[in-house]
């Protein structure tokens, strides 16, 4: 990729610099609005700008990504590293991130080089969007619009998480996730096929009564064993008694068999 002057990093596709700057700041205004809408603790825009590491990480990412796209990979990696040191959030400059990403709390979040995130995605602390191979192609996940990933969740490999999906806290996702599904567990399993698109699900969980797929499977096995025991008892009750041979002691019969 040819190297461009740093002053034109954001001026792509023939846009004039002042138009690009206006778009740049508009994106940050949208980011701040998205954070306020999804965090009841946010009291003002100034508080978000000064006190939210997720916003600071996005600022460093936008600059690092512009440098990466313009053929300045070392500068992009350096800016990304500075952002990681200051915020605890590691976003590779090669990642592609949509509008209004909200990284809540943020410490320990890792977003890999070939990861792709849609609009209105929300990540909590400790989330990893990681790769599982050594080849230089697509090796990180793709998240659709409005995806929520709970604290400590790991999404690994070049898989796709459909729009509106919810990934529960500490889940490990290694396969494609359909749109609107709610995933929990290790490895992650779907517990709801369609999440409500109108309700916000903090940490990717829809409520306290969320079913546990492992407990549901064990409950089914217990019910099946109880039904089999009842059936065996019925068969034993209906079977005619087995007559014993007269004049033969059980102990003597066992000794003779040995």
Q: Specify the pLDDT at position 6.
A: 47
CA gap 165, 181 in Å, rounded: 5
Q: Specify the pLDDT at position 13.
A: 47
- pLDDT, mean of each 10-residue run, the chain (258 residues): 49 49 66 85 88 91 91 93 93 92 90 92 92 87 92 93 91 91 87 59 58 73 88 82 61 58
Q: Specify the pLDDT at position 247.
A: 53
Q: Specify the pLDDT at position 208.
A: 55
């Amino acid at each position: 990729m040819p190297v461009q002057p740093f002053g034109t990093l954001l001026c792509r596709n023939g846009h004039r610099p002042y138009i690009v700057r206006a778009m740049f700041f508009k994106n940050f205004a949208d980011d701040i609005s998205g954070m306020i809408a999804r965090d009841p603790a946010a009291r003002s825009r100034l508080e978000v700008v000064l006190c939210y590491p997720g916003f600071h990480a996005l600022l460093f990412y936008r600059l690092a990504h512009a440098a990466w796209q313009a053929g300045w990979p070392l500068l992009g990696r350096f800016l990304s590293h500075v952002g990681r040191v200051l915020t605890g959030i590691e976003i590779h400059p090669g990642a592609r991130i949509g509008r209004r990403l909200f990284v809540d709390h943020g410490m320990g979040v890792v977003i890999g080089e070939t990861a792709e995130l849609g609009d209105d995605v929300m990540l909590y602390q400790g989330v990893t969007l990681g790769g599982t191979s050594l080849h230089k192609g697509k090796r990180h996940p793709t998240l659709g619009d409005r995806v929520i990933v709970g604290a400590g969740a790991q999404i690994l490999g070049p898989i796709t998480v459909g729009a509106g999906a919810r990934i529960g806290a500490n889940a490990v996702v290694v396969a494609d996730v359909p749109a609107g599904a709610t995933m929990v567990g290790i490895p992650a399993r779907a517990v709801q096929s369609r999440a409500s698109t109108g309700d916000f699900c903090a940490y990717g969980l829809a409520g306290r009564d969320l079913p546990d797929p492992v407990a549901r499977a064990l409950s089914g096995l217990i019910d099946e064993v109880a039904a089999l025991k009842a059936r065996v008892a019925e068969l034993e009750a209906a079977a005619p008694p087995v007559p014993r041979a007269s004049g033969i002691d059980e102990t003597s019969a066992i000794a003779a068999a040995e």
